[in-house]
Amino acid sequence: MGSSSENRARRWSPNQRAKQEQIIEAAKEVLARDGLAACTARAVADASPLTKSAIHYYFDDMDEIIDGAMARHMSGCLDRIRAAADEHERPVDRFWAAVRTYLEIFAERPNAALLWFSYWVDVGQKSRLEPIDRMHQAMIGVLRDLLADIPVDDPPGRAHALFSYLLGTLMQQAVRPLPFAELMPEIASVCRLDSAGSGEGRAAQVPPER
């Protein structure tokens, strides 16, 4: 069952729905710039053309706004990953381009990993893990499809294991960054690429630059 703001939105005019979109985009900007703790109704209002009272009108609470903004961040990340993969034809090259791009996104934005883990802790403390699980499953789905195309054994299991590895790697890279070429043998092992027919002999090679 949807939230009361979602129910109201079904009756809104295009102009009202556009205002809701403005709020989500403003929250996305605040989160990227200042982090989760700073994403308040006042901060979102200051980053948008709307007032604080308007924000409370269009959404039930800040959690709903933050969920929407974080989903937008994930959607943008997935779009960039898919675009990187689409620049290549061979399935193994598509896979490596996608994984490298995932790590590059967080390397380019040092606060992104902290924001993501802060959000994870916040939803966990509030016992409302469904929004972040939905985002995680979307990323796992992309990895699963790429691995299935190579192919590897048990793409769903390998994709889940790889995603868990990548989450830990984000923290490691923030403390002691390693070149992607040094991470590739570990990633190949997690995904069992060495035993994949089409990837054999190339699994640990640096993929071509975009």
Per residue in 119-172, pLDDT tens?
Answer: 999 999 999 999 999 999 999 999 999 999 999 999 999 999 999 999 999 988
Report angle CA 138, 139, 145 to the nearest 5 degrees.
90
pLDDT of 200 > 80? The answer is: no
Position with higher pLDDT, 13 vs 201: 13
Residues 56-72: what's their mean pLDDT? 94
Position with higher pLDDT, 208 vs 31: 31
Q: Say what the pTM is.
A: 0.86
pLDDT of 11 > 90? The answer is: no
pLDDT tens column, 167-193? 999 988 888 999 999 999 999 999 999
